[in-house]
Structure 1
Amino acid sequence: MYQDLIKYLEGIDPILAAFYATMFTWLVTAAGASLVFFFKTMNRAVLDGMLGFTGGVMVAASYWSLLAPAIEMSEGEGFTKVIPAASGFLMGALFLFALDKTLPHLHINFKETEGIKSPWQRTTLLVLAITLHNIPEGLAVGVLFGGVAAGIPEASIAGAVTLAIGIGIQNFPEGIAVSMPLRRMGMSRRKSFMYGQSSAIVEPIAGVIGAFAVTFFTPILPYALAFAAGAMIFVVVEEVIPETQQDKNTDIATLGFIGGFIVMMSLDVALG
């Protein structure tokens, strides 16, 4: 089945393939958010473990699927070879840093509001927080498919699909992380689900933009891959990991992180 999927995606426009792949990651987010129809709350230890898993997947994907290919396809030797990856990584982190400081958003614990002051409701601020996570994820998948369209040897459909699968897996708990707190606040199941799944709508948009950009400006591919990696690592260190440390579940969150890293690394090596 996996090989059939690869053959199908190889036969269509890579930008369209990027759209399909990021639609998949969005649908997995919606699947996670749909649990709100069956449960009103979720054990905090379970949520912290799932968020730790999310962080592990993102860190592993940042290296195995993004940084390593970016370095491999860069020209030159020594420090010259690493310049595109290092500069792209820095730009990605700074981009998310700028968004984090300007876009109003609320952390999952409902205690920390960041960005410029806004009269927006806490619901909107929470959705924006998860949306920040999803921008680099969609961009990462799109950039890899764009590399395929540009004919870059180091970029493959299999690698892009593997990354989309990994991103999709870790999107499941992100959907839960939005919908469950909203349900706990008294919001209806339907509205909680709608807000939960809507946080990932940005992924197909970012994916198509990333694929287009690389297709028309092939030399930026190493920078674009590293840019997505830097943005993802910023999200993990600034929001995902601190969020798992709010309660007394640090060991569970750490084991979840290790598990997520192993899963993504295994997927990339075995399938990519």
Structure 2
Amino acid sequence: MTVLLSFYDWGQYKGIVPELTLKNWREMVADDYFYTVYMRTFRIAVLVTLASIVVGVPEAYILNRMSPVWRSVSLLAILGPLLVSVVARTLGWALLFGSTGVVNQGLMKIGLISSPLPFMFTETGVVVTLTHVLVPFMVLAVWAALQRLDPQVENAAGSLGASPWTAWRRVVLPQIIPGMLSGSVVVFALAASAFASPAIIGGRRLKVAATLAYDEFLNTLNWPLGAAVATLLLVALVAIIVGSNRLIERRYAQVFE
């Protein structure tokens, strides 16, 4: 229904007209504004995915080597962001990021900065906020891959003279790459389609595809254009995820054959 709606006409006085037209799609292709919004959306999603890999993979590795008691406590802490309402969590980050928030005031008191850093209404603030909530998905995916890894294999590499870094890079990393890939797909898709965090932290000036579709549906009431924005986001996500997975898996197979 949403795809069909994207091909309908719309006017400020006539409303939605159920006549098939490419007007909405031509408008998105011709207007650079939509290109900017989608590039920002996918740039933020890529940065959140990379940050989740940098933070989540070591977390999963350390989690896997913990004792069962500490592992349970740490796992609860990692999954903590998922237990809090997305709105409450994002508003909490807004309080931290504000010019009078804990982050800026703390950095100013210890002398690292002389004026507040612009976290609010910036891509940096959105990336940090989304990374906070999406890292658990990366941790769980990598941890599941580590469960299938025999710890004695890593010990055997050490007994043969490999350094801890070499053993991790040559033995552990190749076997957890599938978990990293599956976690990256989930994180990228959720980051690209996120609404609450970009809407609150990014504000009205820092538009992404989800907030743009929301505005078209509920502010301008141009439902066909909003449907076209949402449909294009879905198609782009599917194309990017399927294409990158095939490319990475092909290269991964060539390297380790």
**TM-score of the two chains, using structure 2 as the length reference:** 0.36
Please report the TM-score for the alignment, with normalisation by the length of structure 1: 0.34
Between structure 1 and structure 2, the one with the greater Rg is 2
The structure whose RCO (Cα within 8 Å, separation 6+) is larger is 1
